[in-house]
Structure 1
Amino acid sequence: MGKDFQPRNAKCDFDRETATGKISMAASAHPIATDAGEKILREGGNAIDAAIAIQFGLNVGEPMMTGIGGSGFFMVYHAESKTTKIFDGHTRAPKAAHPELFLDKKGEVIPFKERSTHAIGVGVPGILKAMEAARKEYGTKPLAELIEPAAQAAEKGVEVNWVMEEILNTFDYRLGDHAKELFMPGGKSLKEGDVYQKEHLAKTFRILQRDGIEAFYEGEIGEALISTLKELGGIMEMSDLRDYEITIDQPVWGTYRGYKIASSNMPSAGGTTMLQILKLLEGFDLSKYDAKSWEKYYLFTEAMRIAFSDKIAFSGDPEVGDIPLKGMLNEEYLAERRKLINFDRRNDAVDFGNPWAYTGSKEIKVVRQMFEPERERSETTHFTVMDKWGNIVACTSTVEHPFGSGIMVNDYGFVLNNELTDFDAMPGGLNEIQPGKRPVSCKTPTIIFKDDEPVLTLGSPGGPTIVGSVFQTIVNVLDFGMDLKEAIEEPRIFNSTGPLIGWEAGINMEAKGEMEARGFEFAEKPFPIGNVQAIQVDREKGVLYGAADSSREGKAVGLDE
């Protein structure tokens, strides 16, 4: 794994962000979290144990991205049984939620900024129950031991890094009063190098160590959560917490160039959309093109536009609606969709297709939603672990947008998500708000297999851009032959169905000009897209490679014994 590439961020620390190991590996977006996972691995824990410790560590180091007030898709590959499961801790709508929750008295959509920082936007958190279910099935250590590294870090105090400073400078308007007290003492945002104390979060962790997650779903932490929301006009009740249930799902499976791919299944549309993009690209010989060619950017953009048109129209919670999943991944359907790619110019005819024709199910009405740029700017985190037994965890967890709803539970030190805003604001479609329902997500934790053995696992944060970050990293490895870190650092582009292509500094400007000549529009300035954490397995050499993305203060660590 060489250093002969240009990182996507000037703050890249190659030594911290890459690692090799002979028996185990962990990678996350913050050193506190990776160190927590490493400690558990060194003490004999498995990947499931270490991943839980990492999640608690991220609540300390990346509170604006994730935490116990949010949700996550906790994917586990169990080596002994060769099975892959997703412990789906996605948020659910409270019982009092209804399809018109985000419409005002005139029937118009409440602006995103308002509805995403209001107590009505908070969904029932699920990450704790997902991790606990995985621990009970596969883990080897008690929950209290897995929380301990994060609890100690919270008590010690946390140094603000450049990532948090940038997020605070951009999204401080999202913070509620209690969150401002912690992150903006005296009315001024914390800066890089500042150390701030998290005694309230540490107290919460100690309660969870003593009483288990029941303290959250049935006890004092949950009561404080509901009390906080009630003060702010929320609709969640203690019964919503008590009755919350995770699901244990099969991943969505697909193939790409001889590899088998497992990824997140509905209600996360990320896996299906990513697989659609890869299958569209599989019809082209990408090796003919340079990694910075306009042809590559063209194929990537049109494949994203085609897949995201379907994603927006046909994704939903399979517990509630009939999702045309088989049709969306049907080879004949995708071959027909591939014909929209012409290499001449941006195809204005790109829209959602008719996957229902390939499922035998009844076609449903598609309700188009208004485009809201700020809604696209969600944040999340991804981490991954592989242990000496070959078990793998790939988890994408979130509080949704930066600092979630901005609502911090009084005296308990964690912010609450705003994930109900992932539902369609306009009712009538597959993703309309209903009680107990899960909103559509784009989380894409992914494991790739060759000859039924895992060879690569990865994921990313970034709302809809998650899909773009994951598929581009896969293509960089499998089609362009890049090593893992190089594949992550290759500048990315992103487009869903909106008019603008997001892009990162370092893309080929001549190729960008060629794309513009073909009718594509690019955002005025580049910006970071995603934050991939990944582990690659070289079975011939008996080596694991880990890499963290330079767009945050990520860390990878490998163990040789």
Structure 2
Amino acid sequence: MKGIYRNQKSTETTVESQRGAGQNGMVASAVREATEVGTEILRQGGNAMDALVAVQFALSVVELFNTGIGSNGFIIYYDNHKKETRVIEGHSQAPKAVTKDMFIKEDGSVMDYFHRSTHPTAVAIPGTIKAMDTALKKYGTMPLDKVIEPAVQLAENGFRVNWQWDQAIEILKVRMGDEAKKFFIPEGIPRVEGEWVKNKDLAKTLRLIQRDGIDALYDGEIGEAIVRTLQEQGGLMTMEDLREYQVKIEKPVTGSYKGYEIAAPAPPSGGGITLIQMLKILESFNLEKYEKTSWQKYYLLAETMRLSFSDKLAYMSDPAFQAIPEKGLLHPEYIKERQNMINWISRNPDIDFGDPWKYEGVESSNAEVKAFKTGGETTHFTAVDKWGNVAACTSSIEHVMGSGIMVPGYGFLLNNDLTDFYPEPNHINSIESGKSPVSTKTPTIVFKEGKPVLTVGSPGGPTIIASVAQMIINIMDYHMDLKDAIEEPRIYNSTGPFIWWEEGMDEQAKIKLEDMGFEFLERAKPIGNVQAILIDQEEGKLYGAADSSRPGAAIGL
């Protein structure tokens, strides 16, 4: 056990270090103000779930272009008293009125991504807020109105815009509808870092939830405003869609890696199964034999990602609509088959999805792999309390700025989650009434001998699973300090020809992989934004860290 803790640095939390250390609680998120809100809830005697819900509402104010009232998400929670882990699924669903060919033009071609992702027909039924309410009632100790109050204060009294706003507004102003432009670019002048901003409309929305509970959203004034906004612009959602939305509480998918147990969401998130499959493929290669900057490590990561992500694209769906070979994908014999595709000679041109169905005792489904475009951004946050409970959530409005549609008078953006479906009919992930699109959200808890030792997650659309896997490897195989593990350059490689890479990747390793047939994006780019907490069960200490790719913080008590 000492191995994963030995290099941890107990640096006092600062904006520069984005580190936290404590013994009585820890919160980490992508925005410092939200982390402070969660920490204050812990300080007031709240537990990890109380803090997590408070952070979600705070992020709805200070990071509203990535999450909020119109978002979807997955929560994972470890109850230390009951010694059980559950996933609270607040994933989005398609409204009843959708059709399988709704993103197909009259000539039979697929609508371009920009058009279909900024149209009101792209908006799915949001689930995060109902999931938060459900989780709070089951696992929390504080009432909803109390954990919302800090977010109300941020919206009413204001906060300083951080540099992330500058980037989001400058790059994605083209996605904004007129109402969003009024808020983000008032009188034609973009909001900039350091500006003091208030969101009175969002404060009103939060006050309505405080007063009426989540019925204000799913059967009341806020929901009526959403439906009215969408239908006026040609959208499909109805109040019936909102009223009938249900949150699920389920067991996580679990697997092992070098004596540690991994717990993460099951489908319709493809994250958990794919993460565990990646780790199982890598396990017998003993990555620790190779330097963390070596070409061998990056080669194994790249080929493993190709193997796992091709399977994800072939087999992941909403389990209410499609059978998924969960056991087959993680079966030891199937893992060996996938490992044998790694030849150490080149980028293996024969890598494609396999046939896990034979390990389920049924014939192959002969699924057809068709890559689909997903949004790039989300947010992740996590909390641990003094009683040993662990909570983590990844929530999103899909693309940065979501659909670009802001609800007039209510101050929040709507998602474009239906673009996570494959646009053509008859695909395993095609859109259907009441169906949830495949997600890559992977809030994860790692256990040793039944006790939680690490909670980790990331935004980043299709790159999320890769970021979480590399974090686990950095901690478990390379025994890195938590913050150093987050900052270690990551890669992402799917079924396409190019490897995405982060600044700082070893140049010689990159050259070697190019010689082996891999191609790299021309420029480095940030991959994900990891938030993590390491739990030292031996010493009773907590270490938290936030990723420098956003203005986040980790604060311990």
User: By the TM > 0.5 criterion, same fold?
Assistant: yes
> Given residue 164 of structure 2, which amino acid in structure 1 is its aligned partner?
V
- Cα contact 1:369–1:426 (8 A) shared by 2: no
> Given residue 231 of structure 2, which amino acid in structure 1 is its aligned partner?
K
Q: Which residue in 2 is equivalent to 1:45? A: 46
Q: Which residue in 1 is equivalent to 2:29? A: 28
- Cα contact 2:406–2:414 (8 A) shared by 1: yes
Deviation of 1:158 (Å):
2.8
Deviation of 1:366 (Å):
2.3
Equivalent-residue separation in structure 2 for 1:13 and 1:511 (angstroms) = 32
- Cα contact 2:265–2:442 (8 A) shared by 1: yes
Q: Secondary structure at the match of 2:405?
A: coil
Equivalent-residue separation in structure 2 for 1:419 and 1:377 (angstroms) = 8
Deviation of 1:304 (Å):
0.2
Q: Which residue in 2 is equivalent to 1:496? A: 494
> Given residue 391 of structure 2, which amino acid in structure 1 is its aligned partner?
V
Equivalent-residue separation in structure 1 for 2:400 and 2:418 (angstroms) = 14
Q: Which residue in 1 is equivalent to 2:410? A: 412
Q: Which residue in 1 is equivalent to 2:122? A: 121
Deviation of 1:363 (Å):
3.0
Equivalent-residue separation in structure 2 for 1:334 and 1:429 (angstroms) = 25
- Cα contact 2:8–2:482 (8 A) shared by 1: no
Q: Which residue in 1 is equivalent to 2:548? A: 550
Equivalent-residue separation in structure 2 for 1:549 and 1:520 (angstroms) = 27
Deviation of 1:367 (Å):
3.6
Equivalent-residue separation in structure 1 for 2:120 and 2:159 (angstroms) = 27
Q: Which residue in 1 is equivalent to 2:238? A: 237
Q: Secondary structure at the match of 1:464?
A: helix
Deviations 1:50-90 (A, max 9, x none): 10000001011111111110111011100011111111000
> Given residue 435 of structure 1, which amino acid in structure 2 is its aligned partner?
S
> Given residue 432 of structure 1, which amino acid in structure 2 is its aligned partner?
S
Q: Which residue in 1 is equivalent to 2:485? A: 487
Q: Which residue in 2 is equivalent to 1:133? A: 134
Aligned CA RMSD, in angstroms, stands at 1.4
In the TM superposition, structure 1's runs of 4+ consecutive aligned residues that sit over 4 Å from their partners are 1-5
- Cα contact 1:58–1:66 (8 A) shared by 2: yes
Equivalent-residue separation in structure 2 for 1:53 and 1:509 (angstroms) = 43
Equivalent-residue separation in structure 2 for 1:342 and 1:203 (angstroms) = 59
Equivalent-residue separation in structure 1 for 2:327 and 2:482 (angstroms) = 31
- Quote the sequence identity (%): 52
> Given residue 397 of structure 1, which amino acid in structure 2 is its aligned partner?
S
Equivalent-residue separation in structure 2 for 1:146 and 1:193 (angstroms) = 26
> Given residue 456 of structure 1, which amino acid in structure 2 is its aligned partner?
L
Q: Which residue in 1 is equivalent to 2:337? A: 336
Among 414, 433, 439, the residue aligned to 2:431? 433
Q: Secondary structure at the match of 2:382?
A: strand
- Cα contact 1:19–1:545 (8 A) shared by 2: yes
- Cα contact 1:384–1:457 (8 A) shared by 2: yes
**Which runs of no fewer than 5 residues in structure 1 stay unpaired?**
6-11
Equivalent-residue separation in structure 2 for 1:95 and 1:186 (angstroms) = 38
Deviations 1:427-461 (A, max 9, x none): 21221111111000000000000000000000000
Equivalent-residue separation in structure 1 for 2:256 and 2:59 (angstroms) = 32
Equivalent-residue separation in structure 2 for 1:361 and 1:133 (angstroms) = 37
- Cα contact 1:72–1:395 (8 A) shared by 2: yes
> Given residue 392 of structure 2, which amino acid in structure 1 is its aligned partner?
A
Q: What TM-score, normalized to structure 1?
A: 0.96
Q: Secondary structure at the match of 1:471?
A: helix
Q: Which residue in 2 is equivalent to 1:69? A: 70
Q: Which residue in 1 is equivalent to 2:476? A: 478
Q: Which residue in 1 is equivalent to 2:387? A: 389
Deviations 1:72-122 (A, max 9, x none): 101110001111111100000000012112111122111111101110000
Q: Which residue in 2 is equivalent to 1:521? A: 519
Q: Which residue in 1 is equivalent to 2:359? A: 358
> Given residue 221 of structure 2, which amino acid in structure 1 is its aligned partner?
E
**Which runs of no fewer than 5 residues in structure 2 stay unpaired?**
1-6
Deviation of 1:465 (Å):
0.4
Equivalent-residue separation in structure 2 for 1:241 and 1:292 (angstroms) = 49
Deviation of 1:2 (Å):
6.8
- Cα contact 1:369–1:425 (8 A) shared by 2: no
- Cα contact 2:374–2:419 (8 A) shared by 1: no
Identify the range of structure 1 (453-462 vs 153-162) with the bigger mean alpha-carbon deviation: 153-162
Q: Which residue in 1 is equivalent to 2:228? A: 227
